[in-house]
Amino acid sequence: MGKAVTDTMRIFSGEEILSSVYRFIAKDGAMKFGEVKGVPFKRDGHIEGSISVARDITKRIELEKSLSDIEERIKTYFTLSDDILFSYDNQLKVLNVSPNVERLTGTSQRNSLEGLQ
């Protein structure tokens, strides 16, 4: 049984679906992602139907994938670089120090982080 049918059955049993993500093929043949929210529609205590909202989240999924890829490349660069690298947050607090800091300075990553705070 498919996810859409299972979710529909859940709604008709009285459950709310707050977020369910589906992959689908659009009319133009492109692969897309949609998020659906649904609640049962009741009248006189009986479920008569459902009210559902669907939206295209393809761009969000693509951006999340791109961000994940970028994060993975940064982690790899941090690990493999011969340089001492630091990452900062928007308050200029050091979040990360490359593993190479210990080899080049004799100071552990943890001590380097604590010394920079």
Question: What CATH number has the domain bearing residue 31?
Answer: 3.30.450.20
Q: Are 43 and 66 within one domain?
A: no
Which pLDDT score is estimated for 100? Answer: 78
Q: Please tell me whether residues 51 and 65 are part of one structural domain.
A: no
Does 39 lie in the same domain as 70? no
Is the pLDDT at 109 greater than 60? The verdict is no
The pTM assigned to this predicted structure is: 0.63
- Domain co-membership, 108 together with 77: yes
Question: How many domains does the chain contain in total?
Answer: 2
**Domain range spanning residue 65?**
61-116
Same-domain pairing of 53 and 65: no
The residue-averaged pLDDT of 47-72 equals 95
SS3 43: strand
Percent share of the chain, pLDDT over 70: 90
Q: H or E element: which one contains 23?
A: strand 17-25
pLDDT band at 108 (very low <50, low <70, confident <90, very high): low
